[in-house]
Amino acid sequence: MKILFFAGLKDQTGTEEVVWEKDEATVGEVREYVLSLFPHAYTVKQAMAAVNEEFVQETDTVHADDTVAFLPPVSGG
């Protein structure tokens, strides 16, 4: 599965994307995998997750051919 990072997460991870060779995982497991690779990417804990451009829950399943995107919280003013 392809994992994409946007905004501050891209800066924290130093990359726009990683690939995880996994057949299936929950969104929560993908989040934990990202934290294991980039423990300093602290905003991934609060980031919204989308799979194939649709927002998802932590317990939703991600498959090998899916794209997961993490979108960090945005502040406005």
pLDDT at 76 over 90: no
pLDDT at position 73: 77
Cα(71)–Cα(69) distance, integer angstroms: 6
3-state DSSP of the chain: CEEEECCHHHHHHCCCEEECCCCEEEHHHHHHHHHHHCCCCHHHHCCEEEECCEECCCCCEEECCCEEEEECCCCCC
| Residue pLDDT, tens place only, 19-35 | 999 999 999 999 999 99
Q: In this predicted structure, what is the pLDDT of residue 18?
A: 98
Q: Are 5 and 15 in contact (CB under 8 A)?
A: yes
- Overall pTM > 0.95: no
Confidence of residue 75 (pLDDT cuts 50, 70, 90): low
> What CATH number has the domain spanning 2-71?
3.10.20.30
User: How would residue 13 be classed by pLDDT, with cut points 50, 70 and 90?
Assistant: very high
Bridge partners for 5 per DSSP? 70
